Structure 1
Amino acid sequence: MSQTARFQSFEDPSHREGAARVAALRAAMAQRGFAGFVVPRADEHQSEYVPPNAERLAWLTGFTGSAGTAIVLADRAALVVDGRYTLQAAEQVDTGVITPVPLAETSVEAWIEANLPAGGVLAYDPWLHTPDGLTRLDRAAKAAGGRLAPTPLNLVDLVWIDRPAAPRAPVVLHPETLAGEAAAAKLGRVREALTKARLDALVVSDPHNLAWAFNLRGGDVAHTPLPLGYAVIPREGRPRLFLDPEKVTPEAATALEGLADRDEPASLPAALEALGSAKARVRLDAATGAVALKERIETAGGAVDVGPDPITAMKAVKNEAEIAGARAAHLRDGAAVTRFLAWLAREAPGGAVSEIDAVVRLEGFRAKANDLREIAFPTISGSGPNGAIVHYRVTRDTDRRVQPGELFLIDSGAQYGDGTTDITRTVAVGTPSPEMRDRFTRVLKGHIAIATAVFPRGTTGAQIDAFARRPLWEAGLDFDHGTGHGVGAFLSVHEGPQRIAKTGTVALQPGMIVSNEPGYYKARAFGIRIENLVLVEPREVAGGERPMLGFETLTLAPIDLALVAPELLTPAEAAWLDAYHARVREALAGLVDPETRAWLIAATRPVGG
């Protein structure tokens, strides 16, 4: 199997079929008396990466972003996307049939309120919406003079003739040497949390949490080692796992015998009804629990407490084994990325490198690293104007060559058995313009401000997000994405609840891993982002009166000095960059080939030197 086929596809769902598919959906709506249907980019678990059989939004519209919602009415349709995907949506969908709508201008609910006809019934799939999300939709439909109605069958599935089958990847054990804690101990902590909250049971609807709590990994979705399934963990008694038995390997089955009962996924509704009949008070995860789960329990007489799954917070704080694994994974990944950057520096100036070439070559270098399992997400490989599309994904139709005088942005990550990586580097091909150097250096200053931040315990990501933006704000600039997201331990590359963003309300704790990735995007011209992963750690401050925290930078790879304007850096910022590059050089020089080593030494010279 080729490297491309193994890791990343460059094919794009064709928007040329959008009109016919929307027409088929409208026919199904009309047959059932519905005025509209809501199509979120979601599966039954609200996963970031969904299996092929749940890619309903992409099949219907051609839009392949990781977040978005389509609302299809009889005479109009909208695709609401956030700022990351505004340009991408406009390019991928048939705008004669579906109108892309920026979330910053109009929310899903506002569009429904303004467009759903009076008396119209807006249909939805109760497995694809959370209770909070459904409340907002219901309010909007009523404000328009209409109402919501659930459908027993998803209407897209009715017209999706060649819909793929549900995934059945093997469910395997995640070794305790890497997990750092036995599954029985984790489940004990979950029971303690249920007791403290006076709950009778927890429905685990998030596959990430299921994987973490039971020390399992799978492969049901791309890029994240997830087994899709559910669990019910009672305050007393044995948990029940709802996994396709054909997926569970003998080794995993043996380990699970001492932990939980296993059932077919089809038996989940009956188990929820049994909880309801017992008048149990059940926690349902607000972020991933479907309305269908809530209704099963409540209809049978139970009480559903919608709130955070306690596993989410436990999973976010990495233990010593997980931290050691992350450091080891970043060391190997840094060597692979550095080999790629050295190759790019040799080949790109001649105009021979395309965006797809870069992806395939980087994946090839990573494939030679020990214990690579998958890429962590589709690599963002954008040259020139394509780099200005925040979450651009190259396809054969959009592929272009990297040209001298342009910037090239590559945002990528890997899933190793001992850790998950995520790194972005922006490089100049040829001589960068003064504007490019100014913008890049301002992004770098923001990156350094986060990397060197010292803050008291209890500080949230929102409280330090502005550190990354100030150098851009001073020039009347900004970026629309968050500064950082949480990262898992051989799990999701985008993990909550922690994040560095204007909406980051969770306090950062030692052991959490987050990204540090400020950026700048000039539409139709270029994109800039500098991303490292950082580990929250205790920080001693001489004479300090409060416990303080700071960051250890985990990612190891050169930052392009050709784009740095030294006159914009303070002495402290220049010293940080020199120290970081010295660390990169020392860590990686012995892990790369002689040609790459020579490039690495030059690429990590003192700034301005």
Structure 2
Amino acid sequence: MKSCEKNFIDKIWINQPKMPTRKMFFHGIQFAGHTAEFKRKKVAKILRGKKCSFFILTSPDSIAWLLNIRGSDVKHTPLCLCFAAINSEGEVTLFIDPKKIDRKKRIILGDGVKFMRPENFDIFLKKIANSKQKVLVDKNKTPFSVYQTLILAKANLSFGEDPCLLPKACKNEIEISGARSAHLRDGVSLVKFLSWLYKTVGKKNITELTATKKLKKLREKNQFFKGLSFETISAVGGHAAIVHYRPSKASDEVIKCGNIFLIDSGAQYLDGTTDVTRTIFVRGGSSKPSNDQKNNFTKVLKGHIAIASATFPFGTKGYQLDPKARKYLKQSGLDYDHGTGHGVGSYLGVHEGPQSISKAKNNVNILPGMILSNEPGYYKADKYGIRIENLVTVLENREKKELFFETLTLAPIDRHLINRRMLNVKEINWLNDYHDRVYLSLKDSLDKDQLSWLKRETEPV
């Protein structure tokens, strides 16, 4: 392959939109937990440990975390598009369109942050290359054009991971507390939605898109709500077997009694990011789930519980936990073609690295403070799909010197899709304890009808 000076996509992209110039804004210390100065010093220490003088930041989420800034340049993710560089003393040069940041905000960022226009980024790269100081580059994150500029300028490069990744992934106590609060409000919205759905389906034509709009309206009323964290997956019947299905006017289907309905959704709050999937059997009349549906749902649930209740030593990788989630499906020759868990940001990306739980040999340790999804599933082509997703955070049992998960998501799991005989005593206890916690956490925020529905849905199995 040969590199080109000009981007041919730009040449053929007709009516290409201009780069966004919406204002950046600050993510308050009451949500971030640490100041930008604290974070800059932490990253600078990592650089000194690697004997590097600079790190080039090209990932907007790393810059957002480092400087406690957010933006509106990317749909569903509060990012401000820009580049930056940080040196081993913690000084940052931020390459940002002047329209995005006014003088007052520059002053707030302090003397440790200098500002340059994005068009001067290449000049800066060449300058630090000519200095022969060692520059840390993350080859997995750095655009080829940036890498090429440094190579052609004969920069003294050192290759390694973005030093913001792990500190960003390991949430501090304020961020964990915020995540709990965000999931509490989000759980109330989800329960209101599910109780409404059961009450309304069969009486009115509720479609996949109708359901999506209803859940969004409920979330919009929540404190600190800033938007959805991704486009909602609202899928009935065979559509639910398409892992990343998105309803459209052309594909929109009515949700009918006797169907399996899967809804995967999430929100961005100032104090946390949510992502939750519930699969329900839409009850009504004499309709009942088939044995096939109940058995497969229960296998997925057993895998979900195995992850949620896992304890493991320091040094454990996600791929070492992944088999727990697939075990019961695989005993029947079944599986799912996606990861079991992805990292989640704190009012940042709903998909965040470097942590994951999947078959892939990701050598990143699962560490205290990380937030991940727990989402095993099963998909029967053209028939139905099942996924049970909660977010979990990693906590440490200091006495036993081991790690465990705390489930953050608060929403009932459909008991009518469970084959109780397939669950052992520990699994039944986990489910009943979880449902008890859901009920006690949410009951004071619901009206009489919603509370009555939740009480039924969280009864012991």
SS in 2 for 1:409: strand
- Structure 1 counterpart of 2:365, which letter? A
SS in 2 for 1:482: coil
Find the partner of 1:317 among 170, 173, 179: 170
Please show how residues 85-164 of structure 1 align to structure 2 within 5 Å.
148-164=1-17
User: Retained in 2: the 8 A contact 1:446–1:470?
Assistant: yes
Is 1:468 matched up with 2:321? no
* Alignment correspondent of 2:312: 455
* Alignment correspondent of 2:391: 533
Find the partner of 1:409 among 262, 273, 294: 262
Deviation readout 1:253-280 (Å, 9 max, x if unpaired):
2212322101100010000000111112
* Alignment correspondent of 2:250: 397
Structure 1 window deviating more from structure 2 (161-170 vs 378-387): it is 161-170
Q: Cα offset for 1:249? A: 4.5
Please show how residues 469-488 of structure 1 align to structure 2 within 5 Å.
469-488=326-345
SS in 2 for 1:210: helix
* Alignment correspondent of 2:443: 589
* Alignment correspondent of 2:279: 426
Is 1:240 matched up with 2:98? no
User: Retained in 1: the 8 A contact 2:26–2:69?
Assistant: yes
Determine the C-alpha separation between the residues in 2 that align with 1:447 and 1:182: 36
User: Retained in 2: the 8 A contact 1:378–1:393?
Assistant: yes
User: Retained in 2: the 8 A contact 1:206–1:230?
Assistant: yes
Gaps of 5+ in 1: 1-147
Q: Cα offset for 1:535? A: 0.8
User: Retained in 2: the 8 A contact 1:468–1:518?
Assistant: yes
Is 1:565 matched up with 2:423? no
Determine the C-alpha separation between the residues in 1 that align with 2:104 and 2:201: 47
* Alignment correspondent of 1:283: 136
Q: Cα offset for 1:531? A: 0.4
* Alignment correspondent of 1:69: none
SS in 1 for 2:99: coil
- Structure 1 counterpart of 2:299, which letter? R
- Structure 1 counterpart of 2:19, which letter? A
Is 1:605 matched up with 2:442? no
Q: Cα offset for 1:237? A: 6.8
Determine the C-alpha separation between the residues in 1 that align with 2:405 and 2:113: 38
User: Retained in 1: the 8 A contact 2:300–2:325?
Assistant: yes
Determine the C-alpha separation between the residues in 2 that align with 1:454 and 1:349: 44
Q: Cα offset for 1:242? A: 0.4
- Structure 1 counterpart of 2:143, which letter? A
* Alignment correspondent of 1:47: none
SS in 2 for 1:222: coil
Find the partner of 1:556 among 403, 410, 432: 410
Determine the C-alpha separation between the residues in 2 that align with 1:282 and 1:267: 18
User: Retained in 2: the 8 A contact 1:170–1:247?
Assistant: yes
**Does the C-alpha gap of structure 1 residues 305 and 363 become closer, same or farther in structure 2, counting only changes over 3 Å?**
same
SS in 1 for 2:171: coil
* Alignment correspondent of 2:216: 363
Is 1:305 matched up with 2:158? yes
- TM-score, reference length from structure 2: 0.96
User: Retained in 2: the 8 A contact 1:385–1:525?
Assistant: yes
Determine the C-alpha separation between the residues in 1 that align with 2:65 and 2:240: 35
SS in 2 for 1:550: strand
Q: Percent identity of the aligned residues? A: 43
* Alignment correspondent of 1:513: 371
Gaps of 5+ in 2: none
Deviation readout 1:531-554 (Å, 9 max, x if unpaired):
00011001367xx5xx11101100
Deviation readout 1:501-524 (Å, 9 max, x if unpaired):
112321111111111100001111
Is 1:171 matched up with 2:24? yes
SS in 2 for 1:246: helix
SS in 2 for 1:538: strand
User: Retained in 1: the 8 A contact 2:40–2:91?
Assistant: no
- Structure 1 counterpart of 2:452, which letter? A
The 4+ residue runs of structure 1 with deviation greater than 6 A are: none
**Does the C-alpha gap of structure 1 residues 439 and 540 become closer, same or farther in structure 2, counting only changes over 3 Å?**
farther
Identify the structure with bigger relative contact order (alpha carbons < 8 Å, sequence gap 6+).
2
SS in 1 for 2:319: helix
Q: Cα offset for 1:176? A: 1.1
Find the partner of 1:523 among 377, 381, 386: 381
For this pair of structures, how many residues does the alignment match? 456
Structure 1 window deviating more from structure 2 (591-600 vs 323-332): it is 591-600
- TM-score, reference length from structure 1: 0.73
User: Retained in 1: the 8 A contact 2:368–2:396?
Assistant: yes
User: Retained in 2: the 8 A contact 1:294–1:304?
Assistant: no
SS in 1 for 2:154: coil
Determine the C-alpha separation between the residues in 1 that align with 2:425 and 2:90: 60
User: Retained in 1: the 8 A contact 2:208–2:255?
Assistant: yes
Deviation readout 1:7-54 (Å, 9 max, x if unpaired):
xxxxxxxxxxxxxxxxxxxxxxxxxxxxxxxxxxxxxxxxxxxxxxxx
* Alignment correspondent of 2:109: 256
Determine the C-alpha separation between the residues in 2 that align with 1:154 and 1:294: 15
Deviation readout 1:463-520 (Å, 9 max, x if unpaired):
1100000010111101111100111111111111111111232111111111110000
Determine the C-alpha separation between the residues in 2 that align with 1:294 and 1:325: 37
- Structure 2 counterpart of 1:508, which letter? I
* Alignment correspondent of 1:377: 230
Determine the C-alpha separation between the residues in 2 that align with 1:335 and 1:248: 36
Determine the C-alpha separation between the residues in 2 that align with 1:590 and 1:251: 42
Determine the C-alpha separation between the residues in 1 that align with 2:144 and 2:10: 19
- Structure 1 counterpart of 2:110, which letter? E
Superposed CA RMSD in Å reads 1.3
Deviation readout 1:76-119 (Å, 9 max, x if unpaired):
xxxxxxxxxxxxxxxxxxxxxxxxxxxxxxxxxxxxxxxxxxxx
* Alignment correspondent of 1:490: 347
Determine the C-alpha separation between the residues in 1 that align with 2:301 and 2:112: 48
Q: Cα offset for 1:433? A: 1.2
User: Retained in 1: the 8 A contact 2:41–2:89?
Assistant: no
Q: Cα offset for 1:352? A: 1.4
- Structure 2 counterpart of 1:522, which letter? K
User: Retained in 1: the 8 A contact 2:90–2:112?
Assistant: no
Is 1:440 matched up with 2:297? yes
User: Retained in 2: the 8 A contact 1:461–1:506?
Assistant: yes
Determine the C-alpha separation between the residues in 2 that align with 1:381 and 1:250: 44
Please show how residues 220-231 of structure 1 align to structure 2 within 5 Å.
220-231=73-84
Determine the C-alpha separation between the residues in 2 that align with 1:568 and 1:534: 24
- Structure 1 counterpart of 2:39, which letter? K
Deviation readout 1:309-347 (Å, 9 max, x if unpaired):
111011110101101110110000000011011111112
**Does the C-alpha gap of structure 1 residues 475 and 162 become closer, same or farther in structure 2, counting only changes over 3 Å?**
same
- Structure 1 counterpart of 2:347, which letter? F
**Does the C-alpha gap of structure 1 residues 249 and 366 become closer, same or farther in structure 2, counting only changes over 3 Å?**
farther
Q: Cα offset for 1:250? A: 4.8
* Alignment correspondent of 1:46: none
